[in-house]
A and B are shown apart, each in its own frame.
Chain A
Amino acid sequence: MAQIVLDRLAARFTDGEILESGSAHGDEWARVRRDAWIPVTMFLREDPATKMEMFIDLTCVDRFGMRASPGGLNPHGLAARGPSANPSAPTEVPTGEPPRFDVVLHVYSVSLKHRVRLYCGVTEEDPSVDTLVSVWPGTNWFEREAYDLYGVRFKGHPDLRRILMYPEFVGHPLRKDYPKEKRQPLVRRQAGRD
């Protein structure tokens, strides 16, 4: 349905910027190398055959501990990655080890009525990627949310601060290693007293 998008991307970016692409359940998707994030998205917006003028969604997926499906690969052909023993230890990421986070972008073309999903793998040791605010200004608040809940930093973002959680909150709650019920209350009254 949006195969034209994948074809144009493959034709324009021949240097391995598009790591892989495919189509599943009627959705076309492509995985983009981290340093090509802005060139690819800007191309999608400007190219007359794709014309993705409308930004839809930007979010993040944490694949920490994602169980492999039969065949040893998780849905996007990446080997399953088990939980690392010490997440903060500065270890060299072995080649072939998939990145922990995926920044996921959905964009749409109102004129041509097609859409695509882009993935950008972001490692745990260096959770940062370029900001897309220069391409679609609407990504501003969505990137703030991804930073707030996952800890992915967006380089060049004009105002990267928490949006859903309060500034005193420590940690990034939607990461798989943050316990669901760990509260950090701001104020409590003493039991029995006002």
Chain B
Amino acid sequence: MDTHDGPLVPPQNRRVVLGFKEAEDLDAPDLPTESLPLNMGPSHPAMHGTVRMVLEVEGEKISNVDIQIGYLHRCFEKESESATWTQVFPYTDRLNYISPMLNNVGYALAVEKLMGITGDIPERASYIRVIVGEVSRITDHLTCLGASAMELGAFTVFLYALKAREWLFELLEEVCGARLTSSYLRIGGVSFDLPEGFGPKLLDILGRTRIVMSDIGKLLDRNRIFRDRMDGIGIITKEDALAYGITGPVGRSTGLAYDVRKDHPYLVYDRFDFDVPVGSVGDNFDRYAVRVEEIAQSMRILEQALATIPAGPFMVNNPRVALPPKSETYNSIEAMIAHFKIIMDGVHVPAGEVYSYTEAGNGELGFYLVSDGSGRPWKCRVRPPCLPATAVLTKVLPGLFIADVVPTFGMINMIGGECDR
């Protein structure tokens, strides 16, 4: 279209604007525009789990967003009101389903706090809880990183992360029989002891996972595309993190240095030497970097825990809480009656209310339990760590492009089971 009779005009000085005489006309105030409601529906490849975002876009920029959750509301609280205290464990598995052991730990600690038996839990049980909890934290972060990277196009990273996660799932299967939803913990301890050879196997897997993490780092850390899509996008400020109650990797990426394991140590976390990574900018890349570093720190905790785990019982020695051994149940009437009472009636938790909090994969997972003295909870509330992080997106997303929703939402790590319960 341009003829080149005259001197060539350098590209930056040329104004070729389709349909308009001058580029300035594009911003003319009387040009009619409408914002377009765009639905990123409940079934969407980049929406982890199901959430519906009704975006109002102007061109590619989002001007408003209405995040509709609740597509996975499976009524955790209502179900736990008709289940016994022990029967709630399978429901807790399915809260944050990429790190199920951490939810089990949180709930078990809450019930034990309400019963007042926190000090009676055997040390070996606490070590086992820490170990399986940290293994779950590693699977949580691997899944988050893998899935988010896949959505940005890095499918290889996804396969590497799943390869590592597969090793950990097999190990968890040796411990409790289930790869994913384990229900391994019980009130008062754990249900089985760790199997033979667990320690060396776990150390071997950690070594291989380190190699996988370094491969992932080589693929992503200095990757131009990855950095361009993640740097400076989706910034959450520290004030917002406080006002919304955002904790965990997302909260720490904003500069808020709060980790329940360090600030209010529970189980045996105060015996281990580990660091907590804290970001500075609060953008997507900070959340990615915090998670990568947390995997490394979890591995440190695991190595120390495996080196110092004591021998001993794995369940509290309280006949009202712990099921008697099967040999006694089948052979003595007292043990059978105790077994019957615990299973049918539920462990009796004294009347009262308690709020217990642990560091789950996404942040402070709180259990607010109300007991009326019977074997079933009156109320079993989960304080979900990813709900405030999803809520803050209503403030963070406007102003970003549609394509920025994908990494931002991925790095928030909203898990539907936890957000909607």
Interface residues, chain A, with chain B CB atoms under 8 Å away:
24-27, 29, 53-57, 59, 61-62, 66-67, 69, 74-76, 104, 106, 110, 113, 115, 117, 136-138, 140-142, 149, 162-166, 173-174, 180
Tell whether, in the assembled complex, residue B242 and residue A110 are in contact, meaning their CB atoms are under 8 Å apart.
Answer: yes
Tell whether, in the assembled complex, residue A25 and residue B114 are in contact, meaning their CB atoms are under 8 Å apart.
Answer: yes
Tell whether, in the assembled complex, residue A166 and residue B70 are in contact, meaning their CB atoms are under 8 Å apart.
Answer: yes
Name A117's closest neighbour in chain B (CB-CB). B355
Name A69's closest neighbour in chain B (CB-CB). B351
Known contacts: A56-B366, A61-B379, A173-B75. The answer to whether A25 contacts B70 by CB under 8 A is no
Instruction: Report the minimum CB–CB distance from B267 to chain A (whole Å).
Output: 16
A residues less than 8 Å from B374 (CB atoms): 67
Tell whether, in the assembled complex, residue B70 and residue A67 are in contact, meaning their CB atoms are under 8 Å apart.
Answer: no
B residues less than 8 Å from A166 (CB atoms): 70
CA distance A62 to B373 in the complex (A): 16
Asked whether B93 is an interface residue with its Cβ less than 8 Å from the other chain, the reply is no
Tell whether, in the assembled complex, residue A75 and residue B351 are in contact, meaning their CB atoms are under 8 Å apart.
Answer: yes
- Cross-interface CB contact of B372 among A74, A104, A173, A180, cutoff 8 Å: A74
A residues less than 8 Å from B114 (CB atoms): 25
Tell whether, in the assembled complex, residue B383 and residue A57 are in contact, meaning their CB atoms are under 8 Å apart.
Answer: yes
Tell which of B76-84, B142-150, B329-337 binds the partner: B76-84
Tell whether, in the assembled complex, residue B82 and residue A110 are in contact, meaning their CB atoms are under 8 Å apart.
Answer: no
Known contacts: A74-B372, A141-B391. The answer to whether A110 contacts B245 by CB under 8 A is no
Tell which of B153-161, B179-187, B256-264, B293-301 binds the partner: B256-264
A residues less than 8 Å from B370 (CB atoms): 61, 75
Name A59's closest neighbour in chain B (CB-CB). B381
12 contacts between A and B (CB under 8 A): A25-B116, A55-B242, A59-B383, A115-B355, A138-B246, A141-B387, A141-B390, A149-B77, A164-B69, A165-B70, A165-B73, A166-B70
Contact with A along B102-138 (1 / 0, CB 8 A): 0000000000011010000000000000000000000
Tell whether, in the assembled complex, residue B391 and residue A138 are in contact, meaning their CB atoms are under 8 Å apart.
Answer: yes
Name B374's closest neighbour in chain A (CB-CB). A67
Asked whether B403 is an interface residue with its Cβ less than 8 Å from the other chain, the reply is no
Tell whether, in the assembled complex, residue A163 and residue B245 are in contact, meaning their CB atoms are under 8 Å apart.
Answer: no
Within 8 A of A (CB), among B355-402: 355, 357, 364, 366, 368, 370, 372-374, 378-379, 381, 383, 387-388, 390-392
Known contacts: A74-B351, A138-B391. The answer to whether A57 contacts B368 by CB under 8 A is yes
B residues less than 8 Å from A113 (CB atoms): 263-264
Tell whether, in the assembled complex, residue A25 and residue B352 are in contact, meaning their CB atoms are under 8 Å apart.
Answer: yes
Asked whether B56 is an interface residue with its Cβ less than 8 Å from the other chain, the reply is no
Instruction: Report the minimum CB–CB distance from A167 to chain B (whole Å).
Output: 10
Known contacts: A59-B368, A164-B73, A165-B73. The answer to whether A138 contacts B388 by CB under 8 A is yes
CA distance A176 to B246 in the complex (A): 30
Tell whether, in the assembled complex, residue B355 and residue A27 are in contact, meaning their CB atoms are under 8 Å apart.
Answer: yes
B residues less than 8 Å from A106 (CB atoms): 355, 366, 368, 383
Instruction: Report the minimum CB–CB distance from B21 to chain A (whole Å).
Output: 44
Tell whether, in the assembled complex, residue A26 and residue B113 are in contact, meaning their CB atoms are under 8 Å apart.
Answer: yes
- Cross-interface CB contact of A27 among B243, B354, B364, B381, cutoff 8 Å: B354
CA distance A54 to B113 in the complex (A): 23
How many residues of B sit at the interface, in one of the four size bands?
Answer: 35 or more
Tell whether, in the assembled complex, residue A164 and residue B420 are in contact, meaning their CB atoms are under 8 Å apart.
Answer: yes
A residues less than 8 Å from B351 (CB atoms): 69, 74-75
A residues less than 8 Å from B368 (CB atoms): 57, 59, 104, 106
Apart from A55-B243, A141-B387, list 15 A-B contacts with CB within 8 A.
A24-B354, A54-B258, A56-B364, A56-B383, A59-B381, A69-B373, A74-B372, A75-B370, A104-B368, A110-B256, A113-B263, A113-B264, A164-B73, A165-B73, A174-B77
Name A165's closest neighbour in chain B (CB-CB). B70
Known contacts: A25-B113, A106-B355, A140-B391. The answer to whether A57 contacts B366 by CB under 8 A is yes
Name B67's closest neighbour in chain A (CB-CB). A141
Asked whether B303 is an interface residue with its Cβ less than 8 Å from the other chain, the reply is no
Name A179's closest neighbour in chain B (CB-CB). B78
CA distance A166 to B244 in the complex (A): 24
Asked whether B353 is an interface residue with its Cβ less than 8 Å from the other chain, the reply is yes
B residues less than 8 Å from A62 (CB atoms): 379
CA distance A137 to B82 in the complex (A): 33
B residues less than 8 Å from A69 (CB atoms): 351, 372-373
B residues less than 8 Å from A115 (CB atoms): 355
CA distance A26 to B352 in the complex (A): 12
Tell whether, in the assembled complex, residue B244 and residue A75 are in contact, meaning their CB atoms are under 8 Å apart.
Answer: no
- The 4 A-B pairs of least Cβ separation, nearest first, read A138-B244, A164-B70, A69-B351, A57-B383
A residues less than 8 Å from B355 (CB atoms): 27, 57, 106, 115, 117
Within 8 A of A (CB), among B229-274: 240, 242-246, 256, 258, 263-264
CA distance A14 to B356 in the complex (A): 30
Tell whether, in the assembled complex, residue A138 and residue B243 are in contact, meaning their CB atoms are under 8 Å apart.
Answer: yes
Tell which of A56, A165, A166, A173 has the most Cβ of chain B within 10 Å. Answer: A56
- Cross-interface CB contact of B245 among A24, A57, A75, A164, cutoff 8 Å: A57
CA distance A144 to B368 in the complex (A): 18
CA distance A76 to B421 in the complex (A): 27
Tell whether, in the assembled complex, residue A66 and residue B378 are in contact, meaning their CB atoms are under 8 Å apart.
Answer: yes
Instruction: Report the minimum CB–CB distance from B172 to chain A (whole Å).
Output: 29
